[in-house]
Amino acid sequence: MNISIRQAEPSDAKYVAPLIYDAIGEIANRLTGQSDYNQIIDELETLFTHTDNRHSYLNTYVAVNIETTDIAGILVVYSGLDGRNLDKSLEKRLKSKNAPVTTIEIEAHDDEFYVDTICVHDSARGQGIGTKLLNFAEQVAKSKGFSKISLNVEIQKEQARNLYERVGYVITEPWTIIDEPFYHMVKKI
């Protein structure tokens, strides 16, 4: 599949939100303050169209199938330091909704460029799109002056971890997100 990677646009929301959910699973419940799938997707779409949170279109890139113009994958990236500010806005939003959990845990160190979310659509997996998105993330990180890039992977997601290791990421420490164990992985660039 031939793809191009471009900055996401607010109009991509209905295609991107399900991929965000696919990648982050139950974390989406916490980020949206919702428990119903349709409400979570609606809230992710809303967050995506805003500019002040981690899953904003401003932090998102989409891999587009050149032939069909369908979105085949997504990449959400930002600096670890920016993540803190983006999450403050999200925490305020959750408090205003009286969500059960209103604290968002830090997911990266301040000096890292962070791959928050990467997901390839089911129909496009196994075609190298994930690797292309990771390579693109490195280019963005370098253009912003970073010397390392990081991500977190759930311990049980061995296939994803193998991909990250294959492209040069190494496990640097354990990490916990919503009481679930992750590996924090870093690649020097």
What integer pLDDT is reported at residue 49 of this predicted model? 98
| DSSP string for 68-128 | T--EEEEEEEEEHHHHHHHHHHHHHHHHHTT-S-------S-TTSEEEEEEEE-GGGTTSS
Domain ranges of the chain: 3-188
Regions of the chain where pLDDT drops below 70? none
Q: What is the pLDDT of residues 98-111, one digit of tens each?
A: 887 778 889 999 99
Q: Cα separation of 28 and 9, whole Å?
A: 20
Q: Which of 109, 111, 116 is nearest to 59 (CA)?
A: 116
What integer pLDDT is reported at residue 129 of this predicted model? 97
3-188 belongs to CATH 3.30.360.10: no
User: Could you tell me the CA-to-CA distances from 111 to 2, 122, 148 in Å, in that order?
Assistant: 33, 33, 8
The full length of the chain comes to 189
Q: What is the pLDDT of residues 145-184, one digit of tens each?
A: 999 999 999 999 999 999 999 999 999 999 998 888 999 9
